[in-house]
């Protein structure tokens, strides 16, 4: 974001900052520093994050919202944005910083809806197994600042949206539920999602009116300049650079991960086993030809976001932990050592203290030796306990960003047993 801002000059009007999401504090700090570089200060603003409210400037209010399920703090943040918007003069510029988590952090209810009902709907969606585009299409029907409503409320002020993408395709209408972008979904299409997923039958009846009317028409939502400053591609590029520095042979799957987390874990494990088999076979040939000292590790990389569909009362875990544990089961039969990491780039996988987990072909057996039923842990979505017992969890703490998940696998070359002629 700093690199993009360095090419710009602030407009000669009052500048307001509205930031929401897991990267909100860092993004807002960049905007304040950019203004300061040009001897300017923000005229006002608000930053809504997930952890602590750190004041970044006297004129910018810092708040903490609720995540992943909105509650009283998110409701208060939504009201605070309403109050700020009411003070913005028509001749001004509004810079909005959006990152993953914004949907929940500022999810106050639309007029006529109850906050408790909105909270219940978010909780149902969290366990629905729906992909993020469909989830946020539903959320937009009940959330005060989604579906372009923030851009509409700030009009005619000029608006720029700075976006850290946590969704496939960097879809601006989906990231943070699109506070600055019109909603392409029709009410009929959203009702179909509710019926197909079973969420509609379980959500509070008080929300039914919200799914009859449409969100603001695209013709009404003002034009907003939107700049994607980071995405899953950014994270993958960083991983590839690190692997290159470690002199790895690199294979990146450019198809985004999606679908059920456990199924993805088994699929990626199978891919890693096959790659390891091929790599070791190639290494044997290279060693026979005298290149034993030049063998390199093999690095496999995937990025995206899987889902977990929960039925019944779940245990404790997250999609990356579920993927990792399923991969550990599949890797148990690998004839070659494979180490796999699955982690959320925000540092928090599901409602747990872990970003994800690192496993290898011995992890599943280790879990069983401790008397833990790995299969039951997978079936009950209780992966955190099993992985924690063998020291497989990765705890980074909040990273200040969110660009979906990453999965990396490393295959080390077999040690050379002799030298060539």
pLDDT of residue 130: 94
Please state, rounded to an integer, the average pLDDT across all residues of the chain: 94
Residue 292 binned pLDDT confidence (cut-offs 50, 70, 90): low
DSSP 260: B
pLDDT in tens, 114-145: 999 999 999 999 989 999 999 999 999 999 99
Read off the pLDDT of each residue in 355-376 and give the average, rounded to a whole number. 98
Q: And the tokens for 121?
A: 């709907």
Strand order in the sheet with 44-49: 60-64, 44-49, 15-20, 93-98, 158-164, 225-230
Instruction: Name residues whose C-beta falls within 8 Å of residue 398's C-beta, 6 or more positions apart in sequence.
Output: 22, 50, 51, 346, 347, 348
Read off the pLDDT of each residue in 233-242 and give the average, rounded to a whole number. 96
Taken in order of first residue, the domains within the chain and their CATH numbers are 2-230 (3.40.50.10180), 233-411 (3.40.1480.10)
- Whether residue 38 has pLDDT greater than 80: yes
Task: Specify the pTM.
Answer: 0.89
pLDDT of residue 418: 47
C-alpha radius of gyration, the chain, whole number: 24
Read off the pLDDT of each residue in 205-228 and give the average, rounded to a whole number. 96
pLDDT of residue 419: 44
Cα 49–chain centre separation:
14
- Whether residue 289 has pLDDT greater than 90: no
Residue 215 binned pLDDT confidence (cut-offs 50, 70, 90): very high
How far apart (Å, rounded) are the C-alpha atoms in residues 334 and 347? 29
Residue 228 binned pLDDT confidence (cut-offs 50, 70, 90): very high
Token pair 């700020």 in the structure block, residue: 84
Residue 420 binned pLDDT confidence (cut-offs 50, 70, 90): very low
pLDDT of residue 293: 58
Percent of the chain with pLDDT over 70: 97
Q: And the tokens for 269?
A: 């494990």
Please report which helix (H) or strand (E) contains residue 121, including its range.
helix 115-126
How far apart (Å, rounded) are the C-alpha atoms in residues 232 and 99? 12
Read off the pLDDT of each residue in 6-27 and give the average, rounded to a whole number. 96
How far apart (Å, rounded) are the C-alpha atoms in residues 49 and 297? 39
Residue 164: which of 396, 353, 348, 399 has the closest Cα?
399
pLDDT of residue 284: 76
Read off the pLDDT of each residue in 377-397 and give the average, rounded to a whole number. 97
Read off the pLDDT of each residue in 182-201 and give the average, rounded to a whole number. 97
- Whether residue 402 has pLDDT greater than 50: yes
Bigger pLDDT: 286 or 281?
281
- Whether residue 283 has pLDDT greater than 80: no
Cβ burial, residue 195 (10 Å; 0-12/13-18/19+): exposed
pLDDT of residue 294: 62
pLDDT of residue 421: 39
Torsion of CA 358, 360, 366, 372, to 10 degrees: 60
pLDDT in tens, 49-78: 998 778 899 999 999 999 999 999 999 999
């Amino acid at each position: 974001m700093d690199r993009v801002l360095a090419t710009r000059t602030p407009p000669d009007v009052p500048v307001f900052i509205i930031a929401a999401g897991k990267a909100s504090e860092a993004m807002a700090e960049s905007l304040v520093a950019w203004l300061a570089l040009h001897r300017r200060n923000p005229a006002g603003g608000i930053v809504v994050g997930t952890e602590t409210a750190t004041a970044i400037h006297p004129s910018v209010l810092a708040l903490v919202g609720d995540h992943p399920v909105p509650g009283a703090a998110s409701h208060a943040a939504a009201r605070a944005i309403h109050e700020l918007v009411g003070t913005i003069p028509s001749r001004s510029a509004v810079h909005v910083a959006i990152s993953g988590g914004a949907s929940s952090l500022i999810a106050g209810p639309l007029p006529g809806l109850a906050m408790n009902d909105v909270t219940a709907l978010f909780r149902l969606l969290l366990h629905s197994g729906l992909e993020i585009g469909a989830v946020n299409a539903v959320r937009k029907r009940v959330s005060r600042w989604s579906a372009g409503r923030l851009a509409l409320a700030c009009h005619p002020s000029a608006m720029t949206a700075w976006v850290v993408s946590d969704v496939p395709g960097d879809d601006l209408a989906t990231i943070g539920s699109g506070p600055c972008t019109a909603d392409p979904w029709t009410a009929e299409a959203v009702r179909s999602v509710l019926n197909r997923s079973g969420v509609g039958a379980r959500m509070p009846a008080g929300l039914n009116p919200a799914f009859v009317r449409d969100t603001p028409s695209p013709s009404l939502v003002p034009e907003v300049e939107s700049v994607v400053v980071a995405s899953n591609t950014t994270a993958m590029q960083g991983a590839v650079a690190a692997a290159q520095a470690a002199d790895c042979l690199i294979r990146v799957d450019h198809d985004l991960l999606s679908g059920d987390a456990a199924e993805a874990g088994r699929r990626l494990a199978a891919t890693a086993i096959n790659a390891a088999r091929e790599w070791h076979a190639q290494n044997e040939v290279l060693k026979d030809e005298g290149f034993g000292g030049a063998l390199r590790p093999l690095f496999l990389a995937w990025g995206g976001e899987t889902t977990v569909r929960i039925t019944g009362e779940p245990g404790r875990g997250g999609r990356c932990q579920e993927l990792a544990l399923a991969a550990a089961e599949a890797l148990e039969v690998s004839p070659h050592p494979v180490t796999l990491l699955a982690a959320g780039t925000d540092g928090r996988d599901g409602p747990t203290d872990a970003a994800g987990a690192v496993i290898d072909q011995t992890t599943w057996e280790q879990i069983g030796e401790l008397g833990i039923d790995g299969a039951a842990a997978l079936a009950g979505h209780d992966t955190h306990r099993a992985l924690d017992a063998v020291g497989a969890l990765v705890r980074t703490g909040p990273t200040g960003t969110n660009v979906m998940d990453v999965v990396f696998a490393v295959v080390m070359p077999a040690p050379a047993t002799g030298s060539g002629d």
